[in-house]
Structure 1
Amino acid sequence: MDSDQFDFFISYAAPDRAWAEWIAAQLREAGWTVWLDAWEIRPGGNWMQAIAAAVDRSHSVIAVISPQSLGSQRHTTEEWFSFLVGGPEKRVIPVLVAPTEVPTLLRPISQIRIYGLSEEEARTALLSSLAPPRARPSTTPTFPGAKTGDRRLDPDAMSRPAKRRDKKKVFISYSHKDADWLERLLVFLKPIHRDGIIQLWSDKDIKPGQNWRAEINVALNVAGMAIPLISSDFLASDLIVNEELPKLFQAAEHEGTKIMPLILRPSRFERTPILSAFQSVNPPSHPLSALRRSQWEKILANLSDAIEDELSE
């Protein structure tokens, strides 16, 4: 490997520095090359340039995931997002160091959980997950249907809100000025809609002669998921801000409705508390409109996968 290249870039929030250094140390001891800002950036150095250069020269990013790393003021999301849209040669590896909800775009990616384990167990979980693919077994695997064993319990299951609504029903909230983006999103969601995995609803489903306000309220009252399409026009809509968003917020808080904001264009998303309380699909600093087509199509494809995975849990 080129001496200027790294196997792993460690992306973390400052409160998780101890975890980041522990992870970096395990990887170095195992023979990987690692870039960690706490070890590489000297006093007086331009940290933004150093991080940008390291991201470019690294093959994979270890995204240290915790509630602290997902705050609206963190740069960690931008770091792993750069890898996510950087092409097939770039990998994002989420490592969970505390119970937290994994960002939407990372859910289709296998995650490594190292919290709640002993040090040796955590080291094994980390390194075994990064090892090369195992060889084919030399003996025939045991028939899995011979005996039903205990199901492995999800350690975070008890902390999740009760699923009271029908999660298959997905409400899409948008400004009509963003109708083109809605159409592109519907294209990527169509396969799982056609297969009956989800039931999509937007105001395009309101038929002539129907009471549009009543139809919107009915859809809001049964939706188990919602995808707000965020733009300046979206936030300028009185109907959306005064009626749709408060109902979605209440449904999320009391009934477990999943809210997945998709950032289309620059807006005041981060300064709108009722929205910024929810982790967006893509970082507000990387709206779809600022990305190349191949990049935003990948985000929409990953969103579709994440929704399918959410419903399979």
Structure 2
Amino acid sequence: MSTVFDVFISYHSQDYTEAAKLAQTLREAELRVWFDEWHLQPGKNWVPELRRALDQSSAIAVLVGSEGPGPWQAAEVGTAVLQSSDIGIPIIPVMLPGSGNNHLPPSLQHQTPIRYSSHGISFECLSQLIWAITSKRPRVSLTQMVGEFSLEVPGERNRNSRIMISTLPNETPGTLLDTTWETFGSGIERIIHQIKGQGWRLDVDACFGINEAGLVMATFLSSAQFNRCNIGYLKCIKQRSSLQLSPHSNYPELPDNPTIFICDFEVKYADVVGFVANDLRKKYVNPDLHFAVFGAMTEERRLEIDAFQKLTGAEIITAAGFTSVFIAAIMNPPGIEPPLELR
């Protein structure tokens, strides 16, 4: 039987959330994924459907959680092992957080596993998994974002201020995470989706970028979302105890009461956001300021926060008084670096 799917996702029902995230991530990497929620038709006998899907898959990813395989999952694994011995289909154990080698079925004890960290699957491990599935190194750069969650952010009343945010884990504590161009582009796309999901039309007179990475964000958003509006540039010079703007900054001519969208790569401890907001309020008459940041930092390792106030820069962003706020990703301390050419 010819293959229809690159990978069959086998999982315990208790591990559904991680399984769904992984299935979506692999689909976004352009793999053909069999995931039961997407392919099992309600009301039909699912046992022959599972067998057919296993027959039509080039690889099987077996997700192993802290409870080990579920009863139906064990049956899937048994069928997969038989197929593997007959025609060489790779079976890839994927060890979820909290699982250990003792949770592996005996038939998979000799298979090299892919291991999640305590924060989810890393960029490097995802690349390894795709290599295991396709027998080829990933031919495209993959985003380093590995999950998403919703968060209520500051915003004007009567507007939808709940947005979906990605997580951007760093597997090496104490070092800055070097972001890829794919990750950077994914962040800009995330912000565009957030803007469209607000339920109101945002007509912008100018997009301002803070430093080089912010300028790239502003340029893309101006073209993709804001009908090629004016573009401004704010070059910040950090000194020991103060901030100032370089004379190379650019302020386009705008009407009174302009709507201005400010783009920054990351928010940490320095009050660059408040400094820039005050500067624009001095330069223009009664501006309506909106703010987007690629990466906002948490105080701790946990990324899926339940309150905006748990961000390192929460007070800074709130004090700036923006009409709306957009955040592409939540990052671990000590932060992130933009793609090499923008440093």
Report the TM-score, using the length of structure 2 for normalisation: 0.35
Report the TM-score, using the length of structure 1 for normalisation: 0.38
Larger relative helix fraction = 1
Larger relative strand fraction = 2
The higher relative CO (CA closer than 8 Å, separation ≥ 6) is in: 1
